[in-house]
Amino acid sequence: MSLKNLISPEQRRKKLKTILLKNGFARIIETHNGLSGLIGNDACINLENGDCLEFDGLWESSFTDSASKGHPDAEIIGPDSRLHSIEEIMNVTNKPMIVDGDTGGEATQFEYFCSKLERFGVSAVIIEDKIFPKRNSLEPGAKQELEDPDVFATKIWRGNKIALSQDFMIIARLESLIANKGIEDAISRARTYLRAGADGIMIHSKEREPRDVFRFAEEYTKLCDELGYRKPLVCVPTAYNRLTEQELVQRGFNIIIHANHLLRASYAAMQKVCKKILISGRSFEADLICAPVRDVFKTVGFMDVKEKDKVYNRMKTCAIIPDTHRLLDTALIEKCGDIPISAVELLDKSIIQRQAEVLNNAKIFNIYLVGGFGLEKITYRQIKKIINPQYDLNSPLHALFCAEEQMQDGFIMIYSDVLFYEKVISEVLQTQEDIVLIIDSTYPSRLDRLHKTRMELVIAKHQANNDHYRMLTPLTDMEIKMIGKRVSPDLATHEFTGIAYFSEQGADILKSVYHEAAQKYAGKKFHEAATFETASFTDIIQELIDLGYPLNVCEVNQGWQEIHNTHDYKHALESLQC
């Protein structure tokens, strides 16, 4: 995932030396663009002991960079284009990178190239001692002209002088075996280059038989003894790849580069897919040999973008409060007057004002109150009022749908007689889910209240989580089987709090199910309601459940309270006073 692998150039540059110091060797994989960089960088085999087997770094190969651009590997692709590929890979990876610098060009050009690589955070550049423009080393019969060792040594020395940090390495690549000049020539050049300040030596060979590279490794050890220090020894075992990394390490190699395999793998796969599509006249058969689109999306970070969009969209979430009926409790009417529940005051603040303040603290600023009777008595300025022309039908569902236009970016539905803490709202806003109901798990301990008020009960597939009494518990993927006022109290596991969250997608689902039901159930019984026109919010939720839409729940066991009657009112006053 592209933003996942963030790292500073300094942190990355020193990683190669650190790995070499710690493990004695580094296993490097070729990459040629951002995607292959991501794949090589993040490849991991989970071992039984919990460790992850992975590559230690990346090789930005001249062969595969050129080939991925459709060009031969003959220093045709210039430094700007190479730097562009290098930057593309660096942008999305965090492992150390070794750059294949070809011949390095003329010494001044090489200085500039080095300074740019170092700035990017590249750990090492390997240059080969051939005359510009070089030819790839693997093709038999290709022209291979070696550079004068002193000219090449000067290039190394000048590149080294430009480097600002000790972490940036210039490794000299010996092409003596490729040009059939023998081991003695290779060792003599290695001596010259090390004396000029090379930070390592790479010996290259295109022979399947590793005899010469092994002999070179032995001679290299002697040379290092002679010089009194040892610099890392690098190999590219493309031709002699029956040998394992372990065998190469035993022979004295410190950096093992698998130099072209990701490009060759994609080349073979692309050819196969082209043939399959041509033969089948469609792409269906090719699907079997293609990665799923989603895997590619995941690797390049598209799923992260999607999740972030969801989070930022959530900031546009509004609250819709359907106020659906007049006060029913006579004692409460005597106390507060015949006003909508939203206007009932608790310690100098109306219920709607308390709701709005908590919602504002949870960063919800668009609050819509849908009402009818006494709506003019709501004077709190933070609230946008929507008139429900069918207020007298007492249908919370249709009241909610008076605010259908406001649902488009997602919303929280809150019953007008519910008080709640901010944590209840902020918790539900964290969700990645599309529809979440906040349900109370203390319901079984409140059975005594049932005869007084008809509660909206829930039967969840699992028992209520009462382990953490008086805690707000996180979202669960608990399935709801049934919801409503007529749910058997003995079977119910939770109580619906009157708070539900719908993401943008959740709101779309709700809207389409509502409109389909409006057609199908017009004038007919709709779950617990005598007709669709008098339906409750829980009736549409039951419809969603029956249609198999995934509903999530957030279990709470405190932090909210409904005010249905004087008893609730007094209880709310008491809790606000303490």
- Judged by the rule CB under 6 A, the positions of this chain that interact with ligand SPV are 61-63, 73, 100, 136-138, 236, 238, 259-260
Question: Which secondary-structure segment (H or E) carries 322?
Answer: strand 318-322
Q: How far apart are CA 447 and CA 132, in angstroms?
A: 88
Query: Which residue, 100 or 427, is less far from Mg ion as judged by CB?
Result: 100
Annotation marks residue 73 as catalytic:
yes
Residue 350 interaction partner, one of Mg ion, ligand SPV, none, beta carbon < 5-8 Å per kind: none
Strand runs (DSSP E) across 92-243, as ranges? 97-100, 124-128, 169-174, 200-203, 233-235
Least Å from the CB of residue 62 to Mg ion: 3
The pair phi, psi for residue 487, each rounded to 5°, is -65, 135
Catalytic residue chosen out of the listed positions 51, 56, 65, 73: 73
To Mg ion, the closest distance from the beta carbon of 236 in angstroms equals 9
Measured from the CB atom, the residue of 155 and 354 that comes closer to ligand SPV is 155
With CB under 5 to 8 Å by kind, the binding choice for 36 among Mg ion, ligand SPV, none is none
Task: Tell me the closest approach of the beta carbon of residue 138 to ligand SPV, in angstroms.
Answer: 5
Residue 72, token pair as written in the block: 């031969």
Cα 472 to Cα 255: distance, rounded to the nearest angstrom: 53
From the list Mg ion, ligand SPV, none, partner contacted by residue 138 (C-beta under 5 to 8 A by kind): ligand SPV
| 233-235 vs 255-258, strand pairing mode | parallel
Question: Nearest-CA neighbor of 355 among 242, 497, 182?
Answer: 497
- Residues in contact with Mg ion by the rule CB under 5 A: 62-63, 100
Residue 173 φ/ψ, nearest 5 degrees: -105, 125
* Long-range pairs, 509-514, Cβ under 8 A, ≥24: 509/434, 509/435, 509/544, 509/549, 510/407, 510/435, 510/540, 510/544, 511/404, 511/407, 513/540, 513/543, 513/544, 513/547, 513/549, 514/397, 514/401, 514/540
| Residues 205 and 175 sit within 8 Å (Cβ to Cβ) | no
Contact indicator for 353, 380 with CB cutoff of 8 Å: yes
User: What is the nearest approach in angstroms of ligand SPV to the Cβ of residue 73?
Assistant: 6
We find the least distance from the C-beta atom of residue 30 to ligand SPV, in angstroms, to be 6
- The residues facing 555 across adjacent strands are 439
DSSP type of residue 478: P
**Residue 61 or residue 388: which is nearer to ligand SPV going by CB?**
61
DSSP state of 256: E
31: left (phi over 0), alpha (psi -120 to 50) or beta: beta
Q: Minimal distance in Å, beta carbon 187 to ligand SPV? A: 20
Which of Mg ion, ligand SPV, none is residue 68 near (CB under 5 to 8 Å by kind)?
none
3-state secondary structure of 503: coil
Residue 440 contact, options Mg ion, ligand SPV, none, Cβ 5-8 Å cut-off depending on partner type:
none
At residue 370, the 3 state secondary structure works out as strand
Q: How many CB atoms lie within 10 A of CB 519?
A: 8
Which residue, 141 or 389, has its beta carbon nearer to Mg ion?
Answer: 141
**Considering CB distances under 5 to 8 angstroms, the limit depending on partner class, which of ligand SPV, Mg ion, none binds residue 260?**
ligand SPV
Of 238 and 557, the one with the shorter C-beta distance to ligand SPV is 238
CB of 102 to Mg ion, least distance (A): 6
Q: Which is nearer to ligand SPV, 88 or 422 (CB)?
A: 88
Closest to Mg ion by CB, 234 or 402: 234
> Among positive and negative, which fits the CA dihedral 411, 412, 416, 422?
negative
Strands 435-440 and 494-502: antiparallel
Stated length of the chain? 578
Instruction: Specify the residue, 207 or 307, whose C-beta has the smaller distance to ligand SPV.
Output: 207
Tell me which of ligand SPV, Mg ion, none is bound by residue 438, counting a contact when its beta carbon lies within the kind-specific cut-off of 5 to 8 angstroms: none
Q: How far is the CB of 429 from ligand SPV (least distance, A)?
A: 50
Q: Which residues are catalytic?
A: 73
